Amino acid sequence: MFHNLSPFLRQSDGNYYVPRISCSELLNTLSQYEKDKPTLDDSVLVGCSDSCSAEFALDLGTLEKSVLEKEFSGKFTDFRKTIVQLDGNDAPILARGQALLRWHESNQYCSKSGKPTQKNLSGSKRVCTSNGMIYYPQMSPVIITLVHSGNRCLLARQENFPPGMYTALAGFCEIGETLEETVRREVAEEVGLEVEGLRYFGSQHWPFPNSSLMMGCYATVKDEKININTAEITDARWFSVDEITEALSHTVKWLPPKLPDGTSPIWVPPKYAIARHLIQEWVEGQKAQIR
């Protein structure tokens, strides 16, 4: 369940989890409202449980939030703040649900005719009621690249990052670009380095800011002299294996505790983010070479 795109969660031992509300429970609650209530037809299919039960997402934003929270013993939360405290199986399903619900909310009219569009049963598409045009959910392709040279890797931070957090370079793919071209352009734009070689790592759906497909890569460069583009990032630096190992140890929940001198330690994105997996694999590869 969502309320204006904020997911409904419960807490256990300091972590969040997604409660599965049955159809009968939800219908019983909705029956208490006479008007302005969503219906099951407004829901979208987001997955299938291990017990082969279909799982749907539904936004209840037209109803009173506090009443729903009391009824179902939980809380509608800021997804961005809680995603790092979710179980690994819950985060992807919430990301799919929020992305689909947001897309349907923003695409209720045909861009050609101006007429209403109709959601299909599962929520996988919308169809124009006047000309039959079919619209499918859109995702923005984004590259995220861990630049490395020898036994050092390069991490950067933006002004809006939490104190002390550094991550791999990232940027949106432009129309007509290949994945490789985007990597080379973004690395050159942000830190002034020329990519010599690159290797694909993996991908991840990321719900922020809207719906992105993060494609992770490793890149080697011809030299190590950084020229920071301050319009894009506030800092970038090379880190050793030991420094990155220390940074990985500081990732606790969302904000790690400050150091004794009051400063924030260097840390990297939490376990759900593909950036962390890029960094973790690189560290493990470097340590394996040493052994």
- What pLDDT does 163 receive? 85
- What pLDDT does 191 receive? 97
For 55-84, the pLDDT digits (tens) are 999 999 999 999 999 999 999 998 887 877
What are the structural domains, with CATH classification, of the chain? 2-106 (no CATH), 108-137 (no CATH), 140-290 (3.90.79.10)
> Does the predicted TM-score (pTM) go above 0.85?
no
- What pLDDT does 255 receive? 60
- What pLDDT does 42 receive? 93
The answer to whether the Cα torsion of 240, 180, 226, 234 is positive or negative is: negative
- In 10 A of CB 208, how many CB atoms? 12
For 133-163, the pLDDT digits (tens) are 999 998 899 999 999 999 999 999 999 888 8
Q: Identify the segments of the chain with pLDDT beneath 70.
A: 87-88, 251-257, 291
- What pLDDT does 284 receive? 94
- What pLDDT does 142 receive? 96
- What pLDDT does 253 receive? 56
10: CB partners within 8 A, 6+ apart:
16, 17, 19, 73, 74, 75
Of the chain, the end-to-end C-alpha distance in Å amounts to 49
- What pLDDT does 252 receive? 54
